[in-house]
Amino acid sequence: MSSSTERSILLAPRPVARAAALGARDPEQRWMLAQPRAVRRGFAEAVYGRPDAEARQEVWMLRQPKAVRESFVKQVLLRQDPPPREQIWMLRQTDKVRESYVRDVLAPDVT
């Protein structure tokens, strides 16, 4: 699948994205495609197609509202064997702690 096709699916209306989620093999992709369009759009704008996408993805997730972060923890991370405890712990921290981690630990030029 081409990059432009993937982006189109990511930004598609909810029924299209949810249908694509059914065929996605990767749990993170399934989770993302099941998210509301505004969440998917925010991800596409902040992360998708950038050379530093991996770092941007981490920053993006850490800055999401609690409901988005918690759904990722429950639907993706806790289903891994073994679950990535440090990642789960960080996603459940307060806004202040998470933003400090983004600012002080992750690449500051990504923010």
Per-residue pLDDT tens over the stretch 18-65:
898 888 889 999 999 999 999 999 999 999 888 899 999 999 999 999
Torsion sign, CA atoms 47, 13, 69, 103: positive
Cα–Cα distance, 22 to 45 (Å, whole number): 23
Confidence grade of residue 6 (pLDDT, cut at 50, 70, 90): confident
Mean pLDDT of the chain: 91
How many of the other CB atoms lie within 10 Å of CB of 41?
Answer: 14
Q: What pTM did the predictor assign?
A: 0.88
